[in-house]
Amino acid sequence: MPDFGLFYKEWKQNKALLAIIILVSMLSNPFTVLNTYISYQGCVTHQDEWVGTCVFSINYLNGTFISVFWIWGVVLAISQLGIERSKGFFDFILSLPYTRGQIFNAKFLTGGMVIVGPQLIGYVLSVFLILLLNPEKVIHFHHLSIGMIFISLMAYSLVMAAGALTGNIFSQLLVSFTVAILPFLLIALPAGNLEIVFGQNAAVLNTEIPDWFRYIIPIMFVVPEWVMDSEHYLFFPIAWSVIFYIIGYISFVKLSNDRNGYFFLWKALDRPVQVIVIIIGILGFGYFGYAASESFAGYLLGMAAGAVIGFFISYFAIYKKTKHL
């Protein structure tokens, strides 16, 4: 368990951001209920001017701010790792009389409590408001409110893990986004290229994909339409949160800080990741080249362009060191 002094340090360094996240996360859910009730009362007061009847119903899928709470997890993780590393604070932090594991856990627990606690309080307050105001219909309330807690924690864990692996803010964000769509890159992109090369005869294309499979992709939870599907799919953000925490913890404890500013803190990752980026560039641009031209020549031209673009992007991103802010 981290020392109290580490929690205090996290609060002092990020208190403005933490306070904003706490207030917004706590009040947004009850505000949704109150705002809908006020609109309903306005309808009742000016019923002669409105067309139709006034119905007090709450649909959390339409215009609900809590559906983007995952953004706070991203911003907080960048502040705790990416910004601190870019400003050169980590040499001081790692010199404190604490283990690396304690430092990471203090950061993660602080962020986790700030993300989960206020949202849970806001959910409970909203339950009381709904019971008090008694709307005729409440749609997707429990599913979306509870689900966003897990999804926000998943987003936070992902960006924290990326920050523990990388040496600057740009690489932290790029790795986070890549991992968020990685199942698509590893499965759908090769499958699309197989379809171009072999046509519909490719065996993998004839395999029926179950509905739950798309929720393996973390970025699918960014769009709130997931709330219309089974609540059992929330298992995936929970599982991803645990996996990302483990990756982040091990990376923070094991990797040295002397490559601060480079894309990866672990030099052994540079070349394999560059090769993967080039392959993805080849497959991605090849697919879009074929889609644009509907010809195999366009496919080959796209692959060539993807190889060149993938090489230069990976080379300048991975091997160019950034300076402290």
Rounded distance, CA 210 to CA 191, Å?
Answer: 16
Rounded distance, CA 100 to CA 300, Å?
Answer: 48
The tally of domains found in the chain comes to: 1
Q: Are 191 and 204 a contacting pair, CB within 8 Å?
A: yes
Q: Are 149 and 67 a contacting pair, CB within 8 Å?
A: no
At 316, phi and psi to the nearest 5? -75, -30
Question: Which of 40-44, 182-186, 237-241 is least confident?
Answer: 40-44
Instruction: Classify 138 as helix, strand or coil.
Output: strand
Residue 46 placed within a domain = yes
Inform me whether the pLDDT recorded for 322 exceeds 80: no
For 90-102, what is the mean pLDDT? 85
Residue 320 placed within a domain = no
Inform me whether the pLDDT recorded for 244 exceeds 90: yes
Residue 191 placed within a domain = no
Rounded distance, CA 315 to CA 304, Å?
Answer: 17
**pLDDT tens, 101-117?**
999 999 999 999 999 99
Residue 9 is part of which domain span? 4-167+237-254
Residue 158 placed within a domain = yes
**pLDDT attached to residue 118:** 95
Residue 269 placed within a domain = no
**pLDDT attached to residue 210:** 72
Residue 197 placed within a domain = no
Residue 184 placed within a domain = no
**pLDDT attached to residue 108:** 95
**pLDDT attached to residue 132:** 92
Mean pLDDT of the chain: 86
Inform me whether the pLDDT recorded for 45 exceeds 80: no
Residue 206 placed within a domain = no
